[in-house]
Structure 1
Amino acid sequence: MTDQPNQVTAQAVTPSVWSNPWHFLAFGLGSGTLPKAPGTWGSLVAVPFMPLWQMLPGWGYGLMLVLTTLFGFWLCGKVADDLGVHDHEGIVWDEMVGMWITLWDVPQGWYWLLAGFLMFRFFDILKPWPISWIDRHVHSGTGIMLDDVLAGVFAWLGVQALIWGTHLL
Protein backbone atom coordinates (compact mmCIF):
# COMPACT_ATOMS: atom_id res chain seq x y z
CA MET A 1 0.00 0.00 0.00
CA THR A 2 1.36 3.41 -0.91
CA ASP A 3 1.02 6.69 0.90
CA GLN A 4 -1.87 7.78 -1.33
CA PRO A 5 -4.64 8.97 1.02
CA ASN A 6 -7.49 7.52 -1.01
CA GLN A 7 -5.95 4.17 -1.89
CA VAL A 8 -7.69 1.10 -0.51
CA THR A 9 -6.62 -2.48 -0.05
CA ALA A 10 -7.56 -5.30 -2.37
CA GLN A 11 -9.92 -6.65 0.30
CA ALA A 12 -12.28 -3.77 -0.53
CA VAL A 13 -12.94 -5.07 -4.04
CA THR A 14 -16.46 -4.60 -5.32
CA PRO A 15 -18.32 -7.40 -7.11
CA SER A 16 -18.12 -5.30 -10.29
CA VAL A 17 -14.74 -6.94 -10.97
CA TRP A 18 -16.67 -10.10 -11.88
CA SER A 19 -19.50 -8.43 -13.81
CA ASN A 20 -17.87 -5.47 -15.57
CA PRO A 21 -15.42 -6.44 -18.34
CA TRP A 22 -13.37 -3.23 -17.92
CA HIS A 23 -12.97 -3.88 -14.20
CA PHE A 24 -12.09 -7.52 -14.88
CA LEU A 25 -9.31 -6.46 -17.30
CA ALA A 26 -8.00 -3.72 -15.03
CA PHE A 27 -7.89 -6.21 -12.15
CA GLY A 28 -5.67 -8.50 -14.22
CA LEU A 29 -8.32 -11.09 -15.08
CA GLY A 30 -9.25 -11.15 -11.40
CA SER A 31 -5.73 -11.52 -9.99
CA GLY A 32 -5.94 -8.07 -8.41
CA THR A 33 -8.68 -9.32 -6.10
CA LEU A 34 -6.24 -11.50 -4.18
CA PRO A 35 -5.75 -10.00 -0.70
CA LYS A 36 -1.95 -10.33 -0.50
CA ALA A 37 0.44 -8.71 -3.00
CA PRO A 38 -2.01 -8.09 -5.88
CA GLY A 39 0.75 -6.39 -7.91
CA THR A 40 2.86 -9.52 -7.71
CA TRP A 41 -0.08 -11.68 -8.81
CA GLY A 42 -0.84 -9.28 -11.67
CA SER A 43 2.80 -9.51 -12.76
CA LEU A 44 2.57 -13.31 -12.75
CA VAL A 45 -0.62 -13.24 -14.83
CA ALA A 46 1.34 -11.40 -17.54
CA VAL A 47 3.87 -14.23 -17.92
CA PRO A 48 1.62 -16.84 -19.64
CA PHE A 49 1.07 -14.33 -22.46
CA MET A 50 4.78 -14.42 -23.31
CA PRO A 51 4.74 -17.41 -25.71
CA LEU A 52 2.11 -15.55 -27.75
CA TRP A 53 3.99 -12.22 -27.66
CA GLN A 54 7.29 -13.95 -28.52
CA MET A 55 5.72 -15.26 -31.73
CA LEU A 56 5.31 -11.67 -32.91
CA PRO A 57 8.04 -10.00 -34.94
CA GLY A 58 9.93 -7.31 -32.99
CA TRP A 59 7.87 -4.49 -34.49
CA GLY A 60 4.66 -6.40 -33.68
CA TYR A 61 5.68 -6.81 -30.05
CA GLY A 62 6.54 -3.10 -29.95
CA LEU A 63 3.14 -2.21 -31.42
CA MET A 64 1.44 -4.46 -28.85
CA LEU A 65 3.30 -2.60 -26.08
CA VAL A 66 2.23 0.80 -27.43
CA LEU A 67 -1.40 -0.30 -27.76
CA THR A 68 -1.64 -2.00 -24.35
CA THR A 69 0.01 1.03 -22.73
CA LEU A 70 -2.32 3.55 -24.40
CA PHE A 71 -5.30 1.34 -23.61
CA GLY A 72 -4.05 1.12 -20.02
CA PHE A 73 -4.02 4.92 -19.61
CA TRP A 74 -7.72 4.92 -20.41
CA LEU A 75 -8.62 1.63 -18.69
CA CYS A 76 -6.89 2.32 -15.37
CA GLY A 77 -8.26 5.86 -15.26
CA LYS A 78 -11.79 4.71 -16.02
CA VAL A 79 -11.80 1.95 -13.42
CA ALA A 80 -10.19 4.21 -10.78
CA ASP A 81 -12.94 6.78 -11.46
CA ASP A 82 -15.63 4.08 -11.35
CA LEU A 83 -14.33 2.91 -7.96
CA GLY A 84 -13.78 6.46 -6.68
CA VAL A 85 -10.18 5.65 -5.76
CA HIS A 86 -7.03 7.26 -7.18
CA ASP A 87 -5.01 4.05 -7.53
CA HIS A 88 -6.75 0.99 -6.14
CA GLU A 89 -4.00 -1.57 -5.50
CA GLY A 90 -6.18 -4.22 -7.13
CA ILE A 91 -5.80 -2.47 -10.49
CA VAL A 92 -2.91 -4.46 -11.96
CA TRP A 93 -3.17 -3.89 -15.71
CA ASP A 94 -0.21 -1.55 -15.23
CA GLU A 95 1.88 -4.38 -13.74
CA MET A 96 0.96 -6.63 -16.64
CA VAL A 97 2.13 -4.05 -19.19
CA GLY A 98 5.25 -3.38 -17.11
CA MET A 99 6.11 -7.08 -17.27
CA TRP A 100 5.55 -7.19 -21.02
CA ILE A 101 7.91 -4.22 -21.40
CA THR A 102 10.48 -5.97 -19.20
CA LEU A 103 10.34 -9.14 -21.30
CA TRP A 104 10.52 -7.51 -24.75
CA ASP A 105 13.24 -9.14 -26.85
CA VAL A 106 14.18 -11.59 -24.08
CA PRO A 107 15.31 -15.03 -25.24
CA GLN A 108 13.01 -17.95 -24.60
CA GLY A 109 13.62 -19.84 -21.38
CA TRP A 110 12.14 -19.89 -17.91
CA TYR A 111 15.28 -18.35 -16.36
CA TRP A 112 14.86 -15.18 -18.46
CA LEU A 113 11.21 -14.96 -17.43
CA LEU A 114 12.23 -15.37 -13.79
CA ALA A 115 15.01 -12.78 -14.11
CA GLY A 116 12.57 -10.33 -15.72
CA PHE A 117 9.91 -10.99 -13.10
CA LEU A 118 12.34 -10.42 -10.23
CA MET A 119 13.79 -7.26 -11.78
CA PHE A 120 10.37 -5.81 -12.51
CA ARG A 121 9.11 -6.50 -8.99
CA PHE A 122 12.33 -4.96 -7.60
CA PHE A 123 11.81 -1.68 -9.46
CA ASP A 124 8.04 -1.65 -9.00
CA ILE A 125 8.25 -2.15 -5.22
CA LEU A 126 11.31 0.00 -4.42
CA LYS A 127 10.37 2.76 -6.86
CA PRO A 128 13.74 4.50 -7.24
CA TRP A 129 13.69 8.05 -8.58
CA PRO A 130 12.06 9.07 -10.95
CA ILE A 131 9.53 6.26 -10.52
CA SER A 132 8.76 7.40 -6.95
CA TRP A 133 8.23 11.00 -8.11
CA ILE A 134 5.80 9.88 -10.83
CA ASP A 135 3.97 7.63 -8.35
CA ARG A 136 3.39 10.60 -6.01
CA HIS A 137 2.78 13.43 -8.48
CA VAL A 138 1.17 12.10 -11.65
CA HIS A 139 -2.49 11.17 -11.28
CA SER A 140 -5.32 9.53 -13.22
CA GLY A 141 -4.76 6.62 -15.59
CA THR A 142 -1.53 8.23 -16.75
CA GLY A 143 -0.05 8.13 -13.24
CA ILE A 144 -1.28 4.60 -12.59
CA MET A 145 0.39 3.37 -15.77
CA LEU A 146 3.48 5.56 -16.03
CA ASP A 147 5.32 4.42 -12.89
CA ASP A 148 4.97 0.77 -13.98
CA VAL A 149 5.95 1.55 -17.56
CA LEU A 150 9.11 3.18 -16.23
CA ALA A 151 9.75 0.27 -13.82
CA GLY A 152 9.38 -2.00 -16.86
CA VAL A 153 11.93 0.05 -18.81
CA PHE A 154 14.41 -0.08 -15.90
CA ALA A 155 13.87 -3.84 -15.54
CA TRP A 156 14.20 -4.29 -19.33
CA LEU A 157 17.57 -2.52 -19.21
CA GLY A 158 18.63 -4.83 -16.36
CA VAL A 159 17.58 -7.98 -18.19
CA GLN A 160 19.27 -6.81 -21.39
CA ALA A 161 22.47 -6.20 -19.40
CA LEU A 162 22.25 -9.78 -18.07
CA ILE A 163 21.75 -11.13 -21.58
CA TRP A 164 24.67 -9.09 -22.89
CA GLY A 165 26.80 -10.27 -19.93
CA THR A 166 26.07 -13.92 -20.64
CA HIS A 167 27.27 -13.44 -24.23
CA LEU A 168 30.60 -12.22 -22.90
CA LEU A 169 31.15 -15.39 -20.87
Structure 2
Amino acid sequence: MYKNKNFIDSISIFFATFFYVGYFPYGPGTAGTFASMVLYFLFFHYLTFSGYIILCIVLFFAGIFFSSRAEKIIGKKDPSEVVIDEVEGYLITMLGAFWAPFSILYILIGFLLFRIFDIIKPFPIGAADKRIGGGIGIMLDDVIAAVISAVLLRLIIVIIVGL
Protein backbone atom coordinates (compact mmCIF):
# COMPACT_ATOMS: atom_id res chain seq x y z
CA MET A 1 0.00 0.00 0.00
CA TYR A 2 1.02 3.59 -0.48
CA LYS A 3 1.32 6.16 2.21
CA ASN A 4 -1.54 8.52 1.54
CA LYS A 5 -1.31 12.16 2.47
CA ASN A 6 -4.96 12.72 3.33
CA PHE A 7 -8.44 11.26 3.42
CA ILE A 8 -9.13 12.07 -0.25
CA ASP A 9 -5.97 10.18 -1.26
CA SER A 10 -7.10 7.17 0.79
CA ILE A 11 -10.56 7.25 -0.78
CA SER A 12 -9.04 7.68 -4.24
CA ILE A 13 -6.86 4.60 -3.83
CA PHE A 14 -9.78 2.64 -2.34
CA PHE A 15 -12.06 3.33 -5.31
CA ALA A 16 -9.41 3.39 -8.07
CA THR A 17 -8.27 -0.07 -7.00
CA PHE A 18 -11.94 -1.13 -6.72
CA PHE A 19 -11.90 -1.86 -3.00
CA TYR A 20 -8.24 -2.96 -3.22
CA VAL A 21 -8.91 -5.70 -5.82
CA GLY A 22 -6.21 -3.99 -7.89
CA TYR A 23 -3.61 -5.25 -5.44
CA PHE A 24 -4.25 -8.85 -6.50
CA PRO A 25 -0.73 -10.09 -7.32
CA TYR A 26 -1.55 -11.88 -10.60
CA GLY A 27 -3.45 -10.09 -13.35
CA PRO A 28 -5.00 -7.24 -11.39
CA GLY A 29 -6.91 -6.09 -14.50
CA THR A 30 -8.46 -9.51 -14.89
CA ALA A 31 -9.20 -9.60 -11.15
CA GLY A 32 -10.93 -6.20 -11.42
CA THR A 33 -12.99 -7.39 -14.38
CA PHE A 34 -13.88 -10.58 -12.52
CA ALA A 35 -15.01 -8.58 -9.48
CA SER A 36 -17.16 -6.44 -11.77
CA MET A 37 -18.59 -9.59 -13.35
CA VAL A 38 -19.57 -10.93 -9.92
CA LEU A 39 -21.28 -7.64 -9.02
CA TYR A 40 -23.08 -7.65 -12.36
CA PHE A 41 -24.25 -11.23 -11.73
CA LEU A 42 -25.43 -10.48 -8.19
CA PHE A 43 -26.85 -6.96 -8.51
CA PHE A 44 -26.38 -4.83 -11.59
CA HIS A 45 -28.42 -6.86 -14.08
CA TYR A 46 -31.50 -6.01 -11.97
CA LEU A 47 -31.22 -2.29 -12.78
CA THR A 48 -33.48 -0.58 -15.28
CA PHE A 49 -31.82 0.56 -18.48
CA SER A 50 -31.80 4.20 -17.36
CA GLY A 51 -30.42 3.21 -13.94
CA TYR A 52 -27.69 1.15 -15.59
CA ILE A 53 -26.73 4.02 -17.92
CA ILE A 54 -26.61 6.42 -14.96
CA LEU A 55 -24.37 3.95 -13.09
CA CYS A 56 -22.01 3.78 -16.09
CA ILE A 57 -21.88 7.57 -16.48
CA VAL A 58 -21.26 8.21 -12.77
CA LEU A 59 -18.63 5.46 -12.67
CA PHE A 60 -16.89 6.95 -15.72
CA PHE A 61 -16.51 10.41 -14.21
CA ALA A 62 -15.68 9.06 -10.75
CA GLY A 63 -13.13 6.77 -12.43
CA ILE A 64 -11.46 9.73 -14.14
CA PHE A 65 -11.19 11.58 -10.83
CA PHE A 66 -10.03 8.65 -8.68
CA SER A 67 -7.66 7.13 -11.23
CA SER A 68 -6.06 10.51 -11.92
CA ARG A 69 -5.39 11.00 -8.21
CA ALA A 70 -4.23 7.39 -7.79
CA GLU A 71 -1.79 7.78 -10.68
CA LYS A 72 -0.20 10.74 -8.87
CA ILE A 73 -0.17 8.98 -5.49
CA ILE A 74 1.33 5.76 -6.89
CA GLY A 75 3.75 7.72 -9.05
CA LYS A 76 3.47 5.88 -12.37
CA LYS A 77 1.47 6.25 -15.56
CA ASP A 78 -1.64 4.04 -15.74
CA PRO A 79 -0.67 1.87 -12.74
CA SER A 80 -1.79 -1.75 -12.88
CA GLU A 81 -3.31 -1.38 -9.40
CA VAL A 82 -5.94 0.98 -10.82
CA VAL A 83 -8.76 -1.28 -12.00
CA ILE A 84 -11.79 1.02 -11.86
CA ASP A 85 -11.39 1.27 -15.65
CA GLU A 86 -11.85 -2.49 -15.99
CA VAL A 87 -14.97 -2.32 -13.84
CA GLU A 88 -16.40 0.41 -16.08
CA GLY A 89 -15.33 -1.46 -19.19
CA TYR A 90 -17.07 -4.66 -18.19
CA LEU A 91 -20.28 -2.85 -17.27
CA ILE A 92 -20.33 -1.10 -20.65
CA THR A 93 -19.61 -4.41 -22.38
CA MET A 94 -22.68 -5.92 -20.74
CA LEU A 95 -24.89 -3.29 -22.37
CA GLY A 96 -24.64 -5.64 -25.35
CA ALA A 97 -26.68 -8.19 -23.39
CA PHE A 98 -29.08 -5.77 -21.75
CA TRP A 99 -32.33 -6.81 -23.44
CA ALA A 100 -31.37 -10.46 -23.85
CA PRO A 101 -32.57 -13.10 -21.39
CA PHE A 102 -30.27 -13.32 -18.37
CA SER A 103 -27.58 -15.90 -19.09
CA ILE A 104 -24.34 -16.88 -17.40
CA LEU A 105 -23.05 -17.68 -20.89
CA TYR A 106 -23.45 -14.02 -21.94
CA ILE A 107 -21.79 -12.88 -18.73
CA LEU A 108 -18.78 -15.10 -19.49
CA ILE A 109 -18.65 -14.15 -23.18
CA GLY A 110 -18.72 -10.47 -22.17
CA PHE A 111 -15.85 -11.11 -19.76
CA LEU A 112 -13.76 -12.85 -22.43
CA LEU A 113 -14.46 -10.27 -25.15
CA PHE A 114 -13.61 -7.35 -22.91
CA ARG A 115 -10.42 -8.92 -21.57
CA ILE A 116 -9.23 -9.83 -25.08
CA PHE A 117 -9.70 -6.28 -26.40
CA ASP A 118 -8.34 -4.68 -23.22
CA ILE A 119 -5.18 -6.81 -23.32
CA ILE A 120 -4.50 -6.84 -27.08
CA LYS A 121 -5.49 -3.17 -27.59
CA PRO A 122 -6.03 -3.09 -31.37
CA PHE A 123 -6.64 0.28 -33.07
CA PRO A 124 -8.24 2.58 -31.88
CA ILE A 125 -7.86 1.21 -28.32
CA GLY A 126 -4.05 1.18 -28.41
CA ALA A 127 -3.91 4.66 -29.93
CA ALA A 128 -6.06 6.07 -27.13
CA ASP A 129 -3.97 4.22 -24.55
CA LYS A 130 -0.72 5.72 -25.88
CA ARG A 131 -1.86 9.26 -26.72
CA ILE A 132 -4.19 10.24 -23.91
CA GLY A 133 -2.80 10.52 -20.41
CA GLY A 134 -4.14 10.98 -16.91
CA GLY A 135 -7.45 9.78 -15.60
CA ILE A 136 -9.26 10.30 -18.90
CA GLY A 137 -6.67 8.16 -20.70
CA ILE A 138 -6.88 5.43 -18.06
CA MET A 139 -10.65 5.26 -18.49
CA LEU A 140 -11.00 5.95 -22.22
CA ASP A 141 -9.09 3.01 -23.69
CA ASP A 142 -11.23 0.64 -21.61
CA VAL A 143 -14.42 2.42 -22.68
CA ILE A 144 -13.42 2.01 -26.34
CA ALA A 145 -12.59 -1.68 -25.75
CA ALA A 146 -15.95 -2.04 -24.01
CA VAL A 147 -17.96 -0.46 -26.82
CA ILE A 148 -16.35 -2.82 -29.34
CA SER A 149 -16.95 -5.75 -26.96
CA ALA A 150 -20.59 -4.72 -26.41
CA VAL A 151 -21.26 -4.61 -30.16
CA LEU A 152 -19.67 -8.04 -30.64
CA LEU A 153 -21.55 -9.45 -27.64
CA ARG A 154 -24.80 -8.15 -29.13
CA LEU A 155 -23.98 -9.76 -32.49
CA ILE A 156 -23.20 -13.07 -30.79
CA ILE A 157 -26.51 -12.93 -28.92
CA VAL A 158 -28.38 -12.14 -32.15
CA ILE A 159 -26.73 -15.12 -33.83
CA ILE A 160 -27.39 -17.46 -30.88
CA VAL A 161 -30.89 -16.36 -29.87
CA GLY A 162 -32.09 -14.05 -32.61
CA LEU A 163 -32.79 -11.16 -30.21
Q: Same fold (TM over 0.5)?
A: yes
Task: Tell me which residue corresponds to 2:161.
Answer: 167
Cα separation, 1, equivalents of 2:25 and 2:147:
27
1:90 match: secondary structure: coil
Matched with 2:32 is 42
Match of 2:106 among 95, 98, 112: 112
| Runs of 5+ consecutive residues of structure 2 not aligned to the other structure | none
Closer, same or farther: CA 107–147 of 1 in aligned 2, 3 Å: farther
| Shift in Å, 1:60 | 1.1
CA deviation vs aligned residue, 1:49-72 (integer Å, no higher than 9, x gap): 213222211111111111101111
CA RMSD of aligned residues (A): 1.7
1:129 paired with 2:123, answer: yes
* 2:89 counterpart residue number: 98
Residue 15 of structure 1 and its aligned partner are, at CA, apart by 6.0
Q: Using the TM superposition, give the Cα deviation of residue 33 of structure 1 relative to its aligned residue in structure 2, in angstroms.
A: 0.7
Give secondary structure in 2 for the equivalent of 1:103: helix
Alignment counterpart, residue 85 of structure 1, candidates 69, 73, 76: 76
Tell me the residue number matched to 1:6.
none
- Offset at 1:25? 1.4
Task: Give the structure 2 partner of residue 149 of structure 1.
Answer: 143
Q: Which piece of structure 1 moves more, 48-57 or 95-104?
A: 48-57
Percent of matched pairs sharing the same residue: 30
Q: How much does 1:21 deviate?
A: 2.6
For normalisation by structure 1, the TM-score amounts to: 0.86
Partner residue of 2:22 out of 10, 24, 32: 32
Could you tell me which residue of structure 1 aligns to residue 2 of structure 2?
Answer: 14
Task: Return the offset for 1:167.
Answer: 2.5
1-structure distance, mates of 2:43, 2:24? 25
Equivalent residue of 1:158, what SS?
Answer: helix
Shift in Å, 1:158: 0.9
How many aligned positions are there? Answer: 155
